[in-house]
Amino acid sequence: MRKVFDFENGELLLINKPHGWTSFDVVTSVRYAIKHHTGRKKIKVGHAGTLDPLATGLLLICTGKFTKKIIQFQNLRKEYTGTFTLGATTPSLDKETEIDQRFDISHINEELIRDTSQSFVGKIEQVPPLYSAVWIDGKRAYKYARSEEKVELKAKFVEIKSFDITRIELPEVDFIVECSKGTYIRSLARDFGETMKCGAFLSDLCRTRIGEFKLEDAFELAEFKEILKEI
């Protein structure tokens, strides 16, 4: 286990983001731990790709001079595993908000599910979730959503490199997706459900890989803090 860090010249830390934490929460916690460890009042710390609060998984944290590489890391492909729940929708496209509509799923079968997943592979147009950090006229989209203001988000092109179904136990469908920067898995859940005419929302999500960086090599946040205490 690594015992030496050079936070000022730059480190790339692989952290498993806890459920319920924002990515900024993790950055703040890591920054505080590093400040306490080094005794420095100022240290640059940033993350290379936001995860929603309800998601878990790999977060790349850059320190010191490595913060200049954040855009480079953000451009890497991502891999996610998770669960779609069919037969219902929510305003946030995940479990952050309550179910607002329910749909019949009696016509849904394995063949339809697998064929639909493959129809999304390639370059597709995707509209970001309203409950997201996308900027609209100088304001985050989620702020409009929470104040129930109606705004229109523009579609953008993203690429789904692979979209495989790993478990079907209706109404739940597990998946593994490899995709480009800027892809919203919540939007993929919405579009997946709309295509099958049954509605769907994202009920679980974990980011397992960014480029060649893997979740299995990441620190738990508490583990990282304990390592700093031992140095």
**What is the domain partition of the chain in residue ranges?**
11-75+212-230, 78-208
Say which CATH topology domain 78-208 has: Pseudouridine synthase (3.30.2350)
Q: Among residues of the chain, what percentage have pLDDT more than 70?
A: 90
Residue 52 annotated as catalytic: yes
Whether the bond into 171 is cis, omega within 30 of 0? yes
Residue 132: predicted pLDDT = 65
Query: Where would I find the H helices in 86-155?
Result: 110-119, 141-146
Q: How much of the chain, in percent, has pLDDT values that exceed 90?
A: 80
The low-confidence residues of the chain, meaning pLDDT below 70, are 1-3, 131-149
Non-local (6+) Cβ contacts of 149 within 8 A are none
Q: Which of 6, 52, 104, 137 is catalytic?
A: 52
Which of 2.102.10.10, 3.30.2130.30, 3.30.2350.10, 3.30.70.2970 is the CATH number of 11-75+212-230? 3.30.2350.10
* Alpha helix (H) residue ranges in the chain: 23-38, 70-74, 110-119, 141-146, 185-195, 221-230
